[in-house]
Each structure stands twice: as structure tokens, then as C-alpha cells.
């Protein structure tokens, strides 16, 4: 088989979700993050809208992000049902990462491009980053959950109005080799061919 085909197949199928509790805590050079971001910018869009916007949390920014997430999740630390374990987990999660990238979508004003297309394009940009991070030997993870799509997260990323937050992309040095991937069913169960 053509070598680049087989390399691409390896990269696509071996990329995995690697979460912060499986990182070493080591910080990588910003230059690697810039390489990852460069690949995001090659994602396709309808009408060159290029709607991806990224907010990079590094160094003390990681603690700032954790603090923001924990307080957004549980604003009232004096509440009777305040869960300190949950609060600390959210607050500490970014600290084990090297960098965390806030994923934003900047809504354009081209009436031909519906919001769903902009969201699709941002997802393609994230996939590019994920594949690049994996190829550079880094662990990465797209996290969403309840907080990800809130206006507060959007504002925290410096966006506003019709823009959106689409979650966080955690990056770190993996502590162990990638886990084996799994899919619940084969691609053949998800495809129909129409030939006539
Ligand atoms: C848009 C998107 C959002 C995700 N959000 C979460 C999440 O909030 N929590 C989580 O555990 N995994 C999340 N994941 C990761 C998936 O759980 C993971 O990709 C899936 O289990 C497949 O594993 P793999 O990436 O190793 O192939 C998300 C993935 C995508 C694409």
C-alpha cells in the first residue's frame, strides 16, 4: 500500500481521547501548541468564514480556568448541597494539563451560511488539532458537558452575542501509551448505498 495512505490510516485510527488524569503534568513548549493551532486553520469552511476562535490557557491561566469552571458549576460555596469534592475536581483538572484550548465559534454575518455549518467547521478544526496533537505524541481530549455551551463560558473566552463556546480541548504529555480504541458497531452498520 502507498506509504502515506497507511500512515494516514494509522494516525486516524490510533488517535484517542486522553484525559487530564492520564497526563504527567509536564508542560510542553508553546511552539508545539502553535503547530497544533496552525493545523486548525486548515479546516474547510463554507465561504471562508473561518469561524474558529481559540483561547489558550497556559501557566497561571490553567489555575484561572479551573477556578472559573468550579465557580461557574457551584457559585454558592455556602449552599447546603455544596459539593467540595466536585468543586476541587473541576478546579484542579486543568492543572495537570500542559495547555487547555477554549473552543469558540465566531458567528459570521453571511446569510448563506447557517450556524450549523459554522459549528461543523469548528469541529473539523478541532479534529485537525487532535490529529496533530496525537502525531506530536501529546494526549488530547475535547470536553463538553453542561458548562461548555453556556453564555458565561462564551464570555470567558472573550466572545459575545451569537458566538458560542463549544467546550475545552485539554492537552498534556500522556503518562502511558494510548488506550485501545473501540467502536460499538462497524461502519457497515451505519452506511447505506443507493445505486439505482
Ligand atoms: C464534541 C465532543 C464532545 C465530547 N465531550 C466529552 C465529554 O464531555 N466527556 C467525555 O468523557 N468525553 C467527551 N468526548 C470524548 C468522547 O467520549 C470520545 O471521543 C469517545 O469516547 C471516543 O473515544 P476516542 O476519542 O478515543 O476514539 C467528546 C468528544 C467529542 C467529539
All residue ranges of the chain with pLDDT < 50 are none
Domain ranges of the chain: 17-57+93-175
Closest-CA residue, ligand 1 atom 25, reads 17
Distance 141 CA to ligand 1 centre (A): 7
Residue 92 makes CB contacts below 8 A (sequence gap 6+) with 66
pLDDT value, residue 132: 98
pTM of the model: 0.97
How far is residue 96's CA from residue 91's CA, in Å, rounded to a whole number?
Answer: 11
pLDDT digits (tens, 9 = 90+) for 89-117: 999 999 999 999 999 999 999 889 999 99
pLDDT value, residue 64: 98
Contact in structure between 177 and 24 (CB atoms under 8 Å): no
Largest CA distance in the chain: 66
pLDDT value, residue 111: 87
Which superfamily does CATH assign the domain made up of 17-57+93-175 to? NADH Oxidase (3.40.109.10)
Residue 13 CB less than 6 A away from ligand 1: no
Residue 158 CB less than 6 A away from ligand 1: no
Distance 112 CA to ligand 1 centre (A): 30
Residue 13 makes CB contacts below 8 A (sequence gap 6+) with 181
pLDDT value, residue 9: 97
How far is residue 24's CA from residue 21's CA, in Å, rounded to a whole number?
Answer: 8
Q: Which residues in the chain belong to E strands, given as ranges?
A: 52-57, 99-105, 139-143, 164-172
User: What is the best residue among 101, 126, 143 to mutate for testing ligand 1's pocket, by most ligand atoms within 8 Å of CB?
Assistant: 143
pLDDT value, residue 177: 94
pLDDT value, residue 27: 98
Distance 144 CA to ligand 1 centre (A): 8
Amino acid at each position: 500500500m502507498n506509504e502515506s495512505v497507511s500512515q494516514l490510516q494509522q494516525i486516524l485510527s490510533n488517535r484517542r481521547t486522553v484525559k487530564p488524569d492520564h497526563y504527567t503534568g509536564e508542560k510542553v513548549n508553546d511552539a508545539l501548541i502553535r503547530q497544533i493551532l496552525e493545523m486548525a486553520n486548515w479546516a474547510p469552511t463554507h465561504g471562508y468564514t473561518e469561524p474558529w476562535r481559540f483561547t489558550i490557557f497556559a501557566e497561571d491561566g490553567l489555575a484561572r480556568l479551573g477556578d472559573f469552571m468550579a465557580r461557574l458549576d457551584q457559585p454558592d460555596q455556602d449552599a447546603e448541597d455544596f459539593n467540595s469534592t466536585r468543586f476541587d475536581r473541576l478546579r484542579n483538572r486543568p492543572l495537570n494539563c500542559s495547555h487547555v484550548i477554549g473552543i469558540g465559534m465566531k458567528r459570521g454575518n453571511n446569510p448563506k451560511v447557517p450556524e450549523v455549518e459554522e459549528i461543523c467547521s469548528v469541529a473539523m478544526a478541532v479534529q485537525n488539532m487532535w490529529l496533530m496533537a496525537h502525531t506530536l505524541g501529546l494526549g488530547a481530549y475535547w470536553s463538553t458537558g453542561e458548562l461548555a455551551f453556556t453564555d458565561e463560558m462564551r464570555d470567558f473566552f472573550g466572545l459575545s452575542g451569537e458566538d458560542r463556546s463549544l467546550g475545552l480541548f485539554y492537552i498534556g504529555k500522556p503518562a502511558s501509551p494510548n488506550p485501545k480504541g473501540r467502536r460499538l458497531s462497524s461502519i457497515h452498520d451505519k452506511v447505506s448505498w443507493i445505486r439505482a
